[in-house]
Structure 1
Amino acid sequence: MERASPFPTTEYETRLDRTRERMREAELDALFVTDPANMNYLTGYEGWSFYVHQGVLVTLDADPVWIGREMDAKAAEVTTWLPDEHVRSYSDEHVHSPYDLHPADYTAEVVAEFGLDDATVGVEMDAYYYTAWTHQRLAENLPAADLEDATLLVNWIRLKKTDRELELMERAARIAEHGMRAGVETIEAGVRESTAAAAIYEALIEGVEADGGDYPAIAPLMPSGEFTGTPHLSWSDREFEEGDPVIIELAGCKHRYHCPMARTVNVGDPPREMDETAGIVVEGLEAALDAVEPGVTAESIEAAWREVIAEYGIEKESRIGYACGLGYPPDWGEHTASLRPGDTTVLEEDMTFHLIPGIWYDEFGVEISETFRVTNDGAETFAEFPRELL
């Protein structure tokens, strides 16, 4: 039994070839991947099992090996393209073990089985689910191995999307539009924030006629009232009041590919200052989009935004965007290129970014964002939703 994969095996093989090329450049004999998005990218593995230790061992001359909890091995068999003998699992005694057992002990056994116990092995030191204890136990069990940081090796390969990946982001965009409409239509005075969040979640998971949705890597963010100057709040059970500003940031998700989007809503007529701020955000966002083309740098996109807001006496220090696409909790960002000063990443066709140039004050904030791909002559946004204060 196999679950239908969103990609043909040949696409995974191409990704693996590119990964091995980077490994050779970095003089790595093997790579142990623990970022769930990178695991999915290389093998197709899908499952809510990242709360326990798991990973994919990539070597230079053999199929990758999935290593995880015994009860999750069947998920690896049905979602990955790997042969069953390359699905390896540790017993439940290793999970939160009272016996001084750790999944890294078993991982080290697999590494040694492949003759890599004295090799140079790349590990994702800054990945969310690669813990300090994991690293210590690997080092103790593989004393002759050289464990080298390879945190973003696979992430940078993911930066340029294939046609199939772009198609999934397009499908995610339709789901994002559906979720945003549900939120906007639900928000009104007397309605609880949690009720609006429930409507958004229902729409994101229900999806649209052509596609059901997946769970997004980040919960819908929805600061309201005086808290809209704090962009990463979710929701509470307070009721919206007349005059409240509300920021909605969400993402449609299909086969783990995301299309994020943010919009700002006001309950009733917005005050003049907020309306003017929204106009500045849109003007700056569109200037940034107009600056996109292959060959320009990531920082030049931010510079186009900064030039606009400077005309209004506004300064903003934080980045205005980041590479995005395939993701698992807690983030849909790829942790590579950012749209900010100092990032000299050269944009190439089919890179994808979430452009989110918000302006936040103590009293209120405005976010209006777009996810776009770099085309051969500019930027193409994935979603279609009114680019204005709603």
Structure 2
Amino acid sequence: MTPFERRIVACQDRLANVGADLLVCFPSPNLTYLTGFAESPSERHLLLFVPRDGEPAIVAPAMYETQLASLPIAELQLRCWTDSDDPLEGVGRVLTDYSLEEADEATVLVDDRMWATFTQDLRDLLPDAAFGLASTVLEPLRIRKDDVELTALRRAGELADHVALEIRRRGEELVGMTESELAAEIDRLLVAEGGEEPAFETIVAAGPNGARPHHHSSSRQIEAGDPIVLDFGAFVPADLEAGTGRYPGDQTRTIVVGDPPAEYERVHDIVREAQQAAIDAVEPGVTAGLIDRAARSVIESAGYGDAFVHRTGHGVGLEVHEPPYITAGNDRELEPGMVFSVEPGIYLEGEFGVRIEDLVEVTEDGADRLNETPRGWETGL
């Protein structure tokens, strides 16, 4: 079986476990996860149907027929429609094939991000059905990465490492560059090292701008002694035979060219200690909330609790931000194969910020970091 065939079978098993009859996806990471087909949403009906029993089907515009026919899923019905057709006729035929149009108590799970117009179409066709969210079934599957996904995420981590080392090596060359110029250079290096494109808007935040966790790189020039928060990563493709799927890197380092300001070294040491405490706490069965607490308690004990203003981390997969979320009160227990960031930070308004971030994989007995570059602040190494 191909990775996608295995995922569809697992999806059907989950549908049976939760007592649902049908799952419907539209262009989204969920669709890519199940089929290997990636496309942006549009006003056109492009829907994947996965029944609890029977063959999955796709209703799609005829322009995609060649691409969809080549998907690595042997038992996949393809129902294409042209611009002169009513796409709902094709949708209705699929629902009839699954004996859902006449069912009294069918349960349909729709993609969490499905546009309202498509959800309403399904409600009109299945007025007696109960509706829920596809994440009920897909989140437990997507949250644990398979070997193909883990290989891609490790490769994305290595790519980010190469770029981080190159930027750190340049040392004094960074002085005089603007934040935007350095961000553009990081983006260039990410692609040159083999990334498809940056996974998110690269953050370069120098001096007092570093106190804004999601600062947008600006025309501010980097000065000697500025703490510089660097947060970046690139998408890399997974080896999924004829399907597609790409996975991101996500790494943050805070560096200084020259002598740092007063208090900086202490703050940096605290953040580094907090990150290490959180990673040391990772193992199967521990809750996501406990990992957040491990990092936060170090920062609070040092007197900077109010300056740690965001969660400790987030899951990473087909999306840069996905479950599990490493935040206070999250009782989700960690399982082998989960991948998430650990990124505590301290942000001192008007002065500087410090954040250190690595991706980690939960293993059978702990955690493996996917990033291995130095976590100190020195440059020119």
Q: Aligned partners of 1:222, 1:152: CA distance in 2, in Å? A: 37
8 A Cα contact 1:172 1:252, kept in partner: yes
Say which structure, 1 or 2, has more relative contact order (CA 8 Å, 6+ apart): 2
Question: What is the SS of the residue equivalent to 2:318?
Answer: strand
- Report the Cα offset of residue 282 of structure 1: 0.3
What's 1:41 paired with? 33
Question: What is the SS of the residue equivalent to 1:280?
Answer: helix
TM-score if structure 2 supplies the norm length? Answer: 0.84
Question: What is the SS of the residue equivalent to 1:349?
Answer: coil
- Report the Cα offset of residue 312 of structure 1: 0.6
What's 1:381 paired with? 369
Matches within 5 A, 1:1-390: 9-34=1-26, 36-47=28-39, 49-50=40-41, 54-78=46-70, 80-83=71-74, 86-91=77-82, 107=91, 110-117=94-101, 118=103, 119-125=106-112, 127=113, 130-184=114-168, 185=170, 188-207=174-193, 212-255=194-237, 256-315=246-305, 316=308, 318-327=310-319, 332-334=320-322, 336-363=323-350, 364-390=352-378
Question: What is the SS of the residue equivalent to 1:62?
Answer: coil
What's 1:4 paired with? none
How many aligned residue pairs are there? Answer: 361
Q: 1:72 to 1:201 in 2, by over 3 A?
A: farther
Q: Aligned partners of 2:203, 2:93: CA distance in 1, in Å? A: 42
8 A Cα contact 2:5 2:73, kept in partner: no
Per-residue CA deviation, residues 351-371 of structure 1 (Å, 9 max, x unaligned), is 211111122222221111110
Per-residue CA deviation, residues 288-333 of structure 1 (Å, 9 max, x unaligned), is 1111112222122122212211221122353201221222xxxx12
- Report the Cα offset of residue 164 of structure 1: 2.5
Q: 1:195 to 1:67 in 2, by over 3 A?
A: farther
TM-score if structure 1 supplies the norm length? Answer: 0.82
Question: What is the SS of the residue equivalent to 2:174?
Answer: coil
**What is the root-mean-square deviation of aligned Cα atoms in Å?**
2.8
Q: Aligned partners of 1:43, 1:262: CA distance in 2, in Å? A: 32
- Report the Cα offset of residue 224 of structure 1: 3.1
Question: What is the SS of the residue equivalent to 2:263?
Answer: helix
8 A Cα contact 1:66 1:87, kept in partner: yes
Q: 1:35 to 1:309 in 2, by over 3 A?
A: farther
Q: Aligned partners of 1:276, 1:158: CA distance in 2, in Å? A: 39
Question: What is the SS of the residue equivalent to 1:263?
Answer: strand
Question: What is the SS of the residue equivalent to 1:269?
Answer: coil
For 2:24, give the aligned amino acid. F
Q: Aligned partners of 1:326, 1:173: CA distance in 2, in Å? A: 14
8 A Cα contact 1:371 1:381, kept in partner: yes
8 A Cα contact 1:174 1:252, kept in partner: no
Question: What is the SS of the residue equivalent to 1:246?
Answer: strand
Structure number with greater Rg is 2
For 1:194, give the aligned amino acid. S
What's 2:241 paired with? none
Point out the more displaced range, 62-71 or 365-374.
62-71
Point out the more displaced range, 15-24 or 142-151.
142-151
Overall identity of the aligned pairs, in %: 32
8 A Cα contact 1:223 1:233, kept in partner: yes
Identify unmatched segments of 5+ residues in structure 1.
1-8, 95-100
- Report the Cα offset of residue 11 of structure 1: 2.7
What's 1:97 paired with? none
Q: Aligned partners of 2:374, 2:88: CA distance in 1, in Å? A: 49
8 A Cα contact 1:64 1:82, kept in partner: no
Q: Aligned partners of 1:18, 1:26: CA distance in 2, in Å? A: 12
Q: Aligned partners of 1:213, 1:106: CA distance in 2, in Å? A: 39
8 A Cα contact 2:182 2:204, kept in partner: no
4+ residue runs over 6 A deviation: none
Point out the more displaced range, 376-385 or 192-201.
192-201
For 2:6, give the aligned amino acid. T
8 A Cα contact 1:183 1:199, kept in partner: no
Question: What is the SS of the residue equivalent to 1:371?
Answer: strand
Q: 1:88 to 1:31 in 2, by over 3 A?
A: same
- Report the Cα offset of residue 154 of structure 1: 0.8
Q: Aligned partners of 1:105, 1:225: CA distance in 2, in Å? A: 59
- Report the Cα offset of residue 107 of structure 1: 4.3
- Report the Cα offset of residue 269 of structure 1: 2.3
8 A Cα contact 1:182 1:199, kept in partner: no
Question: What is the SS of the residue equivalent to 1:366?
Answer: strand
Q: 1:35 to 1:153 in 2, by over 3 A?
A: farther
Q: 1:62 to 1:269 in 2, by over 3 A?
A: farther
Point out the more displaced range, 238-247 or 294-303.
238-247
Per-residue CA deviation, residues 11-63 of structure 1 (Å, 9 max, x unaligned), is 3232222211221222211101236222122111134x345564421112333
